[in-house]
Structure 1
Amino acid sequence: MSRLAVLVPGGKGQVGSELSAILAARHDGLVHAPGSAELDITDREEVRDAVEAFAEAARDADLSPVVINTAAYTAVDAAETDPNSARQVNVAGPAALAEACRDGDLPLLHVSTDYVFPGDADRPYEPTDDTGPRTVYGRTKLDGEQAVLDSGARAWIVRTAWVYGAHGGNFVKTMARLAAQRDRLTVVDDQIGSPTWAADLAAGLLELAEPVAAGRGPAQRVLHCTNSGSTSWFEFARAIFTELGLDPQRVDPCTTADYPTKTPRPAYSVLSGNAWRDADLTPLRPWHDALREALTSNPEAFRPR
């Protein structure tokens, strides 16, 4: 196993925080996980300086460097009315990182999303399937992927979906909060995806980072990584209630038409893990098992304050 030095832009978010925690627990590498206040990835000079300083620190410590970009503009509805901000963070930022990594000969893992697909499939999406985002968020994330792949950097795209974790806002925390405020909840039952625990995703990214940092990365440059299995938001909500020791019958189903949003959500967001397995990477556990451990291992993080 390589001793890694990992730079994590977006390091204070759901996945970045978990990457930091795992690496800190190893005690055998180096991790720098700046949030947006510490590293503005839309500032090319700031990015270049940060990557160069990180590479030098890795060399001095005799560690294998890799950059894992978890920074993103993820406010799906807000992106529709502020596309320039979304484009800066989701396209210009990754492009700047990839350029700096190319020039410094550092490998880059870039986290992307199921929203690059149209969401109308009837089977899990493969990385090679045609994309067709229907939102500003999805289009900017797809353009960011392309910018990274076109940069000439040694780069891999890792798409994921329905992420929740102990840090930041997410569906699990929202359900826990609303459960404390309302007798009954109504949740859409016709949008299907794979809930993914940020800690499991972080572990998967680090497993990929090992061969990548050693110059043995997989030939396929776009991969999918989610917890296995699929469910609807309604079924996910009921599972959350059950794991919190609450009555799942308090959650009622509805259709997307019953609960309109400013921006369309994908009806089907399941991502195939075939390419991940073909790259000899460990498939993530079933989503319900991950949910149970997430709520058991850090219960206070998921309960309303």
Structure 2
Amino acid sequence: MAPLNLTPSDPSMFMLTGIPGLEDAHVWISIPFSMFYIIGLLGNFMVLLVVVKEQTLHKPMYLLLCMLALTDICTSTSIVPKALCIFWFNLKGITEGGCLTQMFLLHLVSAMHSAVLVTMAFDRYVAICNPLRYATILTNARIAKLGLVGLIRSVLFILPLPLLLSRQPFCANRIIPHTYCDHMAVVKMSCGDTTINRTYGLVVAFVVVGLDLMLVALSYGLIIRAVLRISSKKAHWKALNTCTAHICVMMISCTLSLFSILTHRFGQGIAPHVHIILANLYFLVPPMLNPIIYGVKSKELCDKVGKYTRRR
């Protein structure tokens, strides 16, 4: 029970307060948090299980869905258990090493999630603009290599964040008004010069998110150009319909991600509880909705899920 009596002056610990201003409602807030988390876990594990079990789904598109499901599971699991400990048991303490580790995992998985979405956009580009060569351009082995490249890129960009912070002196008052150890929230706890930390964090955000958004926009620009060259309106709709699931996932993820990044730096006028709730939703809503969106839009996956659940 030591964490219950933990004080902010404990030199080896940080204090995560949860959602500032809404402490009395923590138990009620935990209900949608836990529901979103459980639904997301069930949906993503179901996608993984069905794709692994069904030989007919061993295709590049479904391999990408498995990658997306894995990043979604890791994303929500990296924050929800600790958040629920705060909401239910008032266990607010977290060690400095634990805080930096959580921060690294959070941003690593987010960067990997972004890389998977870019690869999915490339998959749609090849499927629509080069359908005859799709099977030779995008093999399972090539998708696995692209996933590995995305993971290596994520590690190289994100690893300096905790390494730079581990060299910073932290103030005695280590109270972080958040449910998890976000990079900028931890940077604000430092008493030293954090110019490098802030600059590098901003550069990473814009290079990773900004570059990925540019690549996705380029892919869809080429897709739209190819679709407009098709004379049949029915073919237009059929081609664009294959992209709707990915577009929905991109809009949900990017909107919440950019809002969280920019609010931490420029959103002083936004109420803290609003920012923190939306920052948490970024790690909760996409993992919950992604398997639903792709399940609805992919008839083959939907049929296999239905077949598998009925058989069980």
Give the TM-score normalised by structure 1.
0.28
Give the TM-score normalised by structure 2.
0.28
Q: Flag the structure with higher strand content.
A: 1
Q: Flag the structure with higher helix content.
A: 2
